[in-house]
């Protein structure tokens, strides 16, 4: 299918408590590559197979968490059209245009706050640095990889109160599909929603929470189960704080491991999943099966995993 409108996750801006420690983690543990710094003290990174200048941004602050999440759209025309729809909608608040260059190597951006309190933005242009293998007669992977070496930043899981209105915004204004959902005993009350703008199992997900504007995890994609197991070895070798895994999700079918950066932001690396097409029915998980939905192997809930956010 042709991917139009919102193309994919473009970047996530994370707050960290110690910038030097965070840089070491995201370069040597995860395996991203630094691509620039700006006058505000933000540091920019990309994964080896990403074309654009960056996908992860770190900013030192007094508290960990997410500043904002950027989505790349297919054209300046689409950017204007979606911005107009968001400005006219009660579902988006605190809308704001930002000039080119305010965010390094990126064109003009349209920011807005969604019903769960998270800050998002849309943009159409970003400087291209290219995949590290190049685009002519490329090798399957480049020399000089390190750490877990994900090929891209993939998605984020976010917590907030009003996921019903958030679903409406993403589906009816931004054109996302609802790939999976977790529902309560009545079969309708939404506990979690998994949304895609492409043909992935999800590009962003939301869990209903008593707190708004919370980050559960930022996730990076690996090539397969063996690489997830190797990530577990790296976590142990480098004495990184392990959260849970390696294991498999029922939701999205992903093979996964979770761990924390030095500031307490949860990271995930995962592999697998399935291809999404718009004619595929939404997968529904019932709350009585939530253990199997989250951790398919041991089928048990982990309270720390559910409740620790930044």
Q: Which residues contact 237 (CB under 8 A, 6 or more apart)?
A: none
CATH class of 6-123: alpha beta
Question: Helix %, strand %, coil % for the chain, to 5?
Answer: 20, 35, 40
Mean pLDDT over the full length of the chain? 96
Q: Which residue has the tokens 């199997």?
A: 292
Whether 176 shows a pLDDT value over 90: the answer reads yes
Per-residue pLDDT at 48: 98
Domain residue ranges of the chain, discontinuous segments joined by +: 6-123, 152-307
Distances (CA, A) of 233 to 230, 289, 301: 5, 30, 24
The pLDDT tens digits of the residues spanning 291-300 come to 888 887 878 8
The CATH code that applies to domain 152-307 is 3.10.180.10
What is the DSSP secondary-structure string of 108-157? -EEEEE-TTS-EEEEES-B-B---TT-SSS--SS-TT--TT--SEEEEEE
pTM: 0.97
Q: How confident is the model at residue 2 (pLDDT cuts 50, 70, 90)?
A: low
Whether 6-123 and 152-307 share one fold: the answer is yes
The pLDDT tens digits of the residues spanning 73-103 come to 999 999 999 999 999 999 999 999 999 999 9
Contact predicate 52/127, CB 8 Å:
yes
Whether 1 shows a pLDDT value over 60: the answer reads no
Helices (H), the chain: 19-24, 76-88, 163-168, 225-237, 290-294, 303-307
Region 218-238 average pLDDT: 97
The pLDDT tens digits of the residues spanning 183-194 come to 999 989 999 999
Per-residue pLDDT at 69: 98
DSSP type of residue 94: E
Catalytic residues: 155, 202, 217, 249, 258, 268
Per-residue pLDDT at 144: 94
The pLDDT tens digits of the residues spanning 11-69 come to 999 999 999 999 999 999 999 999 999 999 999 999 999 999 999 999 999 999 999 99
The pLDDT tens digits of the residues spanning 234-267 come to 999 999 999 998 999 989 999 999 999 999 999 9
Per-residue pLDDT at 293: 84
Helices (H), 25-101: 76-88
């Amino acid at each position: 299918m042709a991917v139009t409108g919102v193309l994919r996750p473009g970047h996530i801006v994370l707050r960290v408590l110690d910038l030097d420690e965070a840089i070491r983690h995201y370069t040597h543990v995860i395996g991203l590559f630094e691509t620039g710094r700006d006058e505000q003290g933000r540091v920019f990174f990309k994964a080896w197979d990403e074309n654009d200048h960056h996908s992860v941004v770190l900013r030192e602050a007094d508290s960990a968490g997410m500043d904002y999440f950027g989505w790349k759209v297919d054209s300046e025309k689409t950017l204007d059209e979606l911005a107009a729809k968001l400005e006219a909608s009660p579902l988006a608040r605190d809308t704001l245009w930002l000039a080119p260059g305010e965010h390094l190597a990126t064109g003009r951006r349209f920011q807005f706050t969604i019903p769960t309190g998270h800050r998002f933005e849309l943009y159409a242009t970003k400087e291209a640095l290219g995949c590290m293998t190049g685009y002519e007669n490329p090798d399957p992977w480049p020399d000089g990889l390190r750490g877990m070496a994900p090929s891209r930043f993939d998605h984020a899981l976010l917590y907030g109160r009003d996921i019903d209105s958030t679903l409406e915004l993403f589906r009816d204004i931004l054109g996302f599909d609802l790939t999976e959902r977790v529902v309560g005993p009545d079969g309708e009350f939404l506990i979690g929603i998994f949304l895609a703008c492409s043909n992935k199992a999800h590009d962003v997900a939301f869990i209903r929470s008593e707190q708004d504007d919370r980050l559960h995890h930022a996730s990076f994609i690996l090539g397969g189960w063996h690489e997830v197991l190797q990530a577990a070895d790296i976590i142990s070798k480098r004495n990184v704080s392990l959260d849970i895994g390696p294991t498999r999700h029922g939701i999205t079918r992903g093979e996964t491991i979770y761990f924390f950066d030095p500031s307490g932001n949860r990271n995930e690396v995962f592999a697998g999943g399935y291809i999404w097409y718009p004619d595929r029915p939404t997968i529904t998980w019932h709350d009585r099966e939530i253990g199997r939905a989250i951790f398919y192997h041991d089928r048990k809930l982990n309270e720390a995993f559910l409740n620790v956010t930044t």
